[in-house]
A and B are shown apart, each in its own frame.
Chain A
Amino acid sequence: DGGITQSPKYLFRKEGQNVTLSCEQNLNHDAMYWYRQDPGQGLRLIYYSQIVNDFQKGDIAEGYSVSREKKESFPLTVTSAQKNPTAFYLCASVHFGTGELGANVLTFGAGSRLTVL
């Protein structure tokens, strides 16, 4: 079945360590996104990429980095510069189009929960 796979589901990190969250999609979607979710804050955009080898900062990009070397993959690195990285991270993807079934609708992965010890 087509979908988005995020791994790991749970991750624990010590302060000062970088960690990378994986996001893979087999939907042949054009764009991919990373959102951060904190209780009562909704979803806030970290980074997004609309084409391979190109990405843009979202509202809260500081302390994060991404790459988009392949269409199906958009890993997120949480660096030691991120002051409060404990959160639930959601990856999403979308196909842009006009009239096609499912176009312009974000599909989400199941999320990764990062806890800094």
Chain B
Amino acid sequence: AQSVTQPDIHITVSEGASLELRCNYSYGATPYLFWYVQSPGQGLQLLLKYFSGDTLVQGIKGFEAEFKRSQSSFNLRKPSVHWSDAAEYFCAVSSGNTPLVFGKGTRLSVIA
């Protein structure tokens, strides 16, 4: 069965610092991988996705993620965090037409 692990429940970074959120997945075939962001009390917004091809994918709001098959990872990065990036971030995996399986999320706090 598919599963997603986000090891960090809560991360605090200073504004302007770099960010990396970790995601590890368990899936037999080539996965479809996603990162979503959620502001409090809101739905989820897609940041970026990986289906195939170039393993470094660019998303919205200056985020990027790298698919590493050997490590079963899909970590999210941003070179310089803004206060507006404070939110909850979810990694998810599917096979394409199967329901998404989500990690438990990482809450990001940004301090001045």
Contact = CB atoms under 8 A, between A and B. Distances in A.
Nearest to B98: A48
A108 B99 contact: no
Nearest to B45: A108
Which of A31, A35, A41, A42 has its CB near the most chain B CB atoms (within 10 A)? A42
B52 to A, nearest CB: 11
Interface of A is mostly: strand
Interface magnitude class on chain A:
20 to 34
A2 to B, nearest CB: 14
Interface magnitude class on chain B:
20 to 34
A105 B36 CA distance: 11
A58 B101 CA distance: 11
A81 to B, nearest CB: 23
A23 B102 CA distance: 21
B41 interface: yes
A88 to B, nearest CB: 8
